[in-house]
Chain A
Amino acid sequence: MSDEIKVDKHMDLKGLPCPMPVVKVSKGIKEVELGQVIEAVTTDPGSLTDFPAWARTSGNEILKSEQDGETIRFYIKRTA
């Protein structure tokens, strides 16, 4: 499924602890157009709950998230 999502921007946030992943992705999302998608990769287990909370609050949409060992991959669509 994931190869069907067209990614416009990649963000490598591996190794960054709280609050950096959310801070960086909130900046990164402003660098893409409405409707475009960011692929953000983190290793912070807290981001599993933090990213959805950030998305709900900021009005953006997480299309998909997948965990592979320590790596967590989010596909976030700018909708706000």
Chain B
Amino acid sequence: MQQAAQQPIEDLREQFDELKAQLESLKNQAPANKISMVVFSGELDKVLAAFVIATGAAAMGMEVVMFFTFWGTPVLRDKNKSVGGKDMMGKMFGTMLPKGTGAVKLSKMNMGGMGTAMMKSLMKKKNVASVEQMMELAADLGVQIFICEMSMDLMGFKREEMIAYPDLTYCGVAKFMEEAANSRVQLFI
């Protein structure tokens, strides 16, 4: 009699344990409150948009990861740093690509730099933060920046010439994918 009553309880306990295990595994699969962004572009407008989204997301309590690759990479160079020992291609990329946030141009209506200068003065007039200021703010808000090693190598950039950003990691696609897979939002800019 007693045994017969115990059986359903045993069954229930088994089911409960199974559900608990399933819930745990679902919990591990749920994405974090995080945004992962690929910053592929190196132009003022696009980089500015990336930083506006990054700082806005951080303000909303999200963890933010920015992965700078290809044309985005030179934006992270420090204008006050220079390194020697580059080959011809490295020197060429170094000269032709913008050196840091202050040197980026508009993707449209640059007009030999005139458009960019006008946009910058307009931004100042309208109180819109510059890319430099946005990057400082991002650092302050704990936005993480990843730099693509492959792009660095391709364009001949060295770690010694990059900015001293507080949360800076050199990595490859796997690190970005790990972050992106665990994020609610992924963007390519």
Is B60 a contact of A17 with CB atoms below 8 Å? Answer: no
Which A residues between 12 and 34 are near B, CB-CB below 8 angstroms? Answer: 15-20, 22-23, 25-27
Most buried by A among B59, B127, B128, B129: B59
* Chain A nearest CB, measured from B64 CB (Å): 12
Is B126 a contact of A17 with CB atoms below 8 Å? Answer: yes
Number of residues of chain B lying within 8 A (CB) of chain A: 13
B129 CB contacts on chain A under 8 angstroms: 20
Let me know if B113 is at the binding interface, CB within 8 A: no
Is A23 a contact of B56 with CB atoms below 8 Å? Answer: yes
Number of residues of chain A lying within 8 A (CB) of chain B: 15
Given A23-B137, A23-B141, verify A18-B52 contact (CB < 8 Å).
yes
B55 CB contacts on chain A under 8 angstroms: 19, 23
A19 to B58, CA, bound (A): 11
**Interface, chain B (partner A; CB < 8 A):** 52, 55-56, 58-61, 126-129, 137, 141
